Amino acid sequence: MSDIIYKTFEEIELIKKSSLLVSETLAEVAKMIKPGVTTAAINEIVDTYIHDKGGYPIFKGYQVFDRQFPAAACISVNEEVVHGLPGERIIQDGDIVSVDIGVLMNEFIGDSAYTFAVGNVDAAKLQLMKVTKESLYKGIDAARLNNRIGDISFAVQNHCEKFGYGIVTELVGHGVGRELHEEPQVPNYGRRGTGKKILEGMVIAIEPMINLGKKDVTIAEDGWTYITKDGLPSVHFEHTIAIQKEGPSILSNFGIIEAEEQKNINLNTSYQK
């Protein structure tokens, strides 16, 4: 297992630039996502926007064993948890859609994900979105100097389990830097006071993946997409953050995404934080 790579102030600033480009790209998705749009069309917007801004969509061609992911974005709808493969699936009124993007720019990576509510989304899905987003910020608040990774994990798990939701255990957050997946792993479940000590210069992606039903997931026939075994919806939110003396610093930005949601009459934004 490789060691944690701690980042300098200058490196964190470069990661922030990449992370903000991810957020800007997700804001572009917020402008166009609506019933009738295909996941392939969303992917095309993502790919084009990142390239136009001087970045590279790091998921495209990302090597997993003997395969390469073929798209710029992971787009996961309803029961799809993460790593959804864009294609001809048409977004329907009432769907929830997770869009996960990574950007490589200036040799450093930013990684963030956001789940969108499309049209008239039912109350159960909206509540799941609200609680999952809240759990992300609770995890971030626990990411303080000399705490442990388990404190982040516990904060996410504790909040979500109060509502009876299933916490996906097969997939975790991770360190971010010159590589998309660095040490340490950041699970969404765990015990306080366990795991690696949180130190200045650590950069991590915290990403709750929370199911409305049970925690169990499986791989779809496409070989990429994780789906819930019970077919119930799942929600995914992710920020890249840096650990600094004064506290955790969020390098990505949901604010610009939420601002676009407010403008888009096709989106129900009642779940906003």
**Does 270 score more than 50 pLDDT?**
no
Predicted model pTM: 0.95
User: Looking at residue 272, what is its pLDDT?
Assistant: 43
Write down the pLDDT at residue 273: 42
- For the chain, give the mean pLDDT: 95
CB 122 within 8 A of CB 227: no
Angle 9-32/255-263 helices, nearest 10 degrees?
10
Would you place residue 110 in the very low, low, confident or very high pLDDT band (cuts 50, 70, 90)?
Answer: very high
How many Å apart are CA 144 and CA 221, to the nearest integer? 40
- 121 has a pLDDT exceeding 60: yes
The pLDDT assigned to 269 comes to 40
Residue 109 has pLDDT above 60, yes or no: yes
Residue 58, pLDDT > 80, answer: yes
Work out whether the CA dihedral 38, 76, 254, 45 comes out positive or negative: negative
Give me the domains of the chain, ranges plus CATH numbers. 9-263 (3.90.230.10)
- Selection from 16, 12, 20 nearest residue 50 by Cα: 20
d(C-alpha 96, C-alpha 194), whole Å: 34
Q: Is 35 exposed, middle or buried (0-12, 13-18, 19+ CB in 10 A)?
A: middle
Summarised one tens digit per residue, pLDDT across range 149-198 is 999 999 999 999 999 999 999 999 999 999 999 999 999 999 999 999 99
Distance, CA of 143 to CA of 153 (rounded, Å)? 10
**Euclidean distance between the first and the last CA atom of the chain, given in angstroms as a whole number:** 37
Integer-rounded Cα Rg, in Å, for the chain is 17
Residue 265 reports pLDDT greater than 70 = no
Q: What is the dihedral of CA 29, 30, 31, 32, to 10 degrees?
A: 60
Which residues are CB-neighbours of 258 under 8 A, at least 6 positions away? Answer: 269, 272, 273
Task: Quote the pLDDT of residue 65.
Answer: 81
**Which of 82, 64, 71, 19 minimizes the C-alpha distance to 46?**
71
